[in-house]
Amino acid sequence: MADKADSYVCGISDTPLLGDTIGRSLELAARRWGAREALVSPSHGVRWTWTEFAERVDALAAGFLALGLEPGARIGIWSLNRPEWTLTQFAAAKAGLILVTINPAYRLSELEFALYKVGCAAIVTATSFKTSNYMEMLNTLLPELATAQPGHLRAARLPALRLVIQIGGPVSPGTVPFDEVPHMGGDRHREQLARLGRELQFDDPVNIQFTSGTTGSPKGVTLTHHNILNNGYFVGRAMRLTEQDRICIPVPLYHCFGMVMGNLASVALGAAMVYPGEGFDPLTTLRTVAQEKCTALYGVPTMFIAELDHPEFASFDLKTLRTGIMAGAPCPIEVMKRVNNEMNMREVTIAYGMTETSPVSFQSAVDDPLERRVSTVGRIHPHVEVKVVDLEGRIVKRGERGELCTRGYSVMLGYWDEAEKTADVLDKNGWMHTGDLATIDDAGYCNIVGRIKDMVIRGGENLYPREIEEFLYRHPKIQDVQIFGVADQRYGEELCAWIRVRSGETLTAEEVRAFCDGQIAHNKIPRYVEFVEEFPMTVTGKIQKFMMRDAVEKRLGLQAAKTA
C-alpha cells in the first residue's frame, strides 16, 4: 500500500464495471426504457423512443453488412451533430465495425491523412454545412467517385476506401444515400447481426479518435467498447443521471465529450440525448434547454460564457436544469459560479481527462462543496488509478506539482499503427503519461495547474499560466483571458496576456498591470498585454497557445537568447 502522503489515488467503488458491448447496452436500454424518449433533435424533426432508436440502429447495421462491410473494418463519420451521426455510432458498434470520428472542421489534407492512416473502407458524410462543402471536398480528393458504381469505388489516393454514404442531398454520383442503407439488409444480414451480438467482445476496438495534433500529425487513439461504455456510465453516475434526465448536448459528437459523456452516458442510464443543433449556437442552446426541459447541459467554458453573456439570456426559463459538465479546458472560477447561480445548475460537475483515457479520470461530485467544485477537477473516477510523478518518474508527495499519470480500464489500446508514439506515452506498467501538471491534495482532490509544454520558465523560475489566469478573471472588465510564454533575450521567456474585454467596457494594459501590482508576485505580471476578439482554438474548445505565441513573436520580432 502506498504511503498516505504519496500522490497515488485509486477509485474504489461498490459499483462494478459493465461487461457489455455497446450493442448489448443498447438492447438493454430498449428493454428497460422502451417508451421513453432516447433521441431528440428539434431541427431535424426527430423524436425517437429507445425502442424506435434501437430498431433504426439494427436496420442500419444490417445495411452496413449488406454493403459488404466486415467486422474490424473502419468506417469514417464526417458530419456535425445530427441523428444520422448517432445512428452510425451505434450501428457500427453492432456490426463489429470500428468508427473513425473525423473532425468536421478538417479540410482536404487532414481528411486524406485520417482516412489513409487507418485504412477506412467506408465513410458516412454530410453533404455540406455553412462554409464546409463535404461532398465537394470528397470529389476533389476522389475524382474516381463521379464515375464509380456506388459501393465499388477504386480511388488512387485512398486505395482502401470502397464506399461513400451520403447524408442528405442532392445525391452525388457514386454515393449511396444514407436513407437507403437501412432498407438493404435482408434476413441473412439480420441473422449475421444477431450472431455478431453474441460473438463480439467488449475488449474489441470500436472507435478511433484523432487527437487534435497541436504538435506533429494527429494520432489515432484506439478505444474499445469497455473503455468508452464504462466511462460514459461512470460520468453519468457522477451526475446521478436516471431515465428521468434529459441531456442537452451542444458539444461535438465526433469528440469524446459528445459521443461518450453524452451518448454513451445516456444509453447506459436511460437519459434522453437532446441535440440543439448541428453546430454550437448559444441562443439555440438556451432555447432548446427551455423548450425541451433539459435537466443537464454540457459545454466547454467558452460555450457557457457565450450563453451567459447572450443579450436574450434573461428571457429563458432554465429552472429544469440541475446538473451538467463543464470540461475540455480549464474552467474559470468566476464562470463556474455564474453557471451555478444564473443557470440553476447547482449540481454542475467539472470533468477532466483526455481522449487517450476514454476520456474522464477525475470528476467533481454533485454534492461537493462549491469551493471544491469551482477550484478543482474533483476526485478520481471509480476503477481508475492515478499518480503524480516528478521528472524522474518518481511519485511526489500530496500537494506537490508533477506530471499526472493514469492507469486502468479507461486507458486506450494505443495509437493506431504507431507503436513508437504509443510507447512514448504508455509505459510498460500500463501508465498513461498525460503531459498535464497537477497536484493532489490530502482529501484526494486534483487540481490541474497547466501543461508541461505550457509552463513558462522565466529566468529559471517556473510560472504556471493557469494561476495567473484565475487571478485576472477577478477583474470585472475581463470576460476571458489566456496567459502564455513568448521568447525573450534576457529571461528566456516572458509572459504575455491575451484578453477579451466584456461588451461595452474599455481596458488598458496599464490598468491590467495596476490590478496585478501588489496582488501577485512581480515576475507573474505579464510584460505584454494584448486585447483580442477571440482565441485560436480547436472545435472542442481547447485553446491553441502555440498559435498565440507564434503570432506575438512574429509581430514583435521576439527571439530567445542564443544558447551554446
The full DSSP string for 235-294 is: HHHHTT--TT-EEE--S-TTSHHHIIIIIIHHHHH-PEEE---SS--HHHHHHHHHHHT-
Which secondary-structure segment (H or E) carries 463?
strand 461-463
Going by C-beta distance under 8 Å and a sequence separation of 6 or more, which residues neighbour residue 530? Answer: 496, 497, 498, 499, 509, 552
The domain boundary residue, chosen from 153, 177, 210: 210
CA distance 168 to 381: 40
Q: How far is CA 245 from CA 133, 209, 240, 322, 349, in A?
A: 35, 28, 9, 9, 15
CATH code of 517's domain: 3.30.300.30
pLDDT in tens, the chain (564 residues): 455 589 999 999 999 999 999 999 999 999 999 999 999 999 999 999 999 999 999 999 999 999 999 999 999 999 999 999 999 999 999 999 999 999 898 888 889 999 999 999 999 999 999 888 999 999 999 999 999 999 999 999 999 999 999 999 899 999 999 999 999 999 999 999 999 999 999 999 999 999 864 445 789 999 999 999 999 999 999 999 999 999 999 999 999 999 999 999 999 999 999 999 999 999 999 999 999 999 999 998 889 999 999 999 999 999 999 999 998 776 777 888 899 999 999 999 999 999 999 999 999 999 998 888 878 999 999 999 999 999 899 999 999 999 999 999 999 999 999 999 999 999 999 999 999 999 999 999 999 887 787 888 887 777 888 889 989 999 999 999 999 999 988 788 899 999 999 999 999 999 999 999 988 888 899 999 999 999 998 766 678 888 999 999 999 999 875 543
301 preceded by a cis bond (ω within 30 of 0): no
pLDDT at 491: 82
Number of domains in the chain: 2
The three grid cell numbers given for residue 42, joined into one nine-digit string: 428539434
Q: How far is CA 74 from CA 89, 155, 202, 412, 416, in A?
A: 12, 16, 17, 17, 12
CA distance 45 to 39: 11
The domain boundary residue, chosen from 210, 230, 261: 210
CB distance 235 to 364 below 8 Å: no
- Residue whose grid cell is 458498434: 93
pLDDT at 544: 86
pLDDT at 563: 40
The three grid cell numbers given for residue 384, joined into one nine-digit string: 481508475
Which secondary-structure segment (H or E) carries 11?
none
Q: Looking at the domain assignment, is residue 423 inside a domain?
A: no
CA distance 471 to 516: 8
CA distance 452 to 435: 6
CB distance 418 to 406 below 8 Å: no
CATH code of 200's domain: 3.40.50.980
Going by C-beta distance under 8 Å and a sequence separation of 6 or more, which residues neighbour residue 506? Answer: 477
pLDDT at 214: 42
Pairing of strands 220-224, 205-210: antiparallel
CB distance 266 to 32 below 8 Å: no
Where are the alpha helices (H) located in 309-418, listed in sequence order? 333-342, 370-375
The three grid cell numbers given for residue 515, joined into one nine-digit string: 490590478
Q: Return the sign of the alpha-carbon dihedral for residues 369, 370, 374, 375.
A: negative
Q: How far is CA 210 from CA 221, 297, 457, 537, in A?
A: 6, 25, 30, 16
Q: Looking at the domain assignment, is residue 390 inside a domain?
A: no
pLDDT at 458: 86
CA distance 32 to 269: 10
The domain boundary residue, chosen from 147, 180, 210: 210
CB distance 48 to 419 below 8 Å: no
pLDDT at 335: 87
CA distance 335 to 305: 7
State the residue range of the domain holding 541: 456-556
CB atoms near residue 169 (< 10 Å):
12
pLDDT at 402: 94
Confidence (pTM): 0.86
CA distance 463 to 467: 8
pLDDT at 562: 52
CB distance 232 to 222 below 8 Å: no
Q: Looking at the domain assignment, is residue 449 inside a domain?
A: no
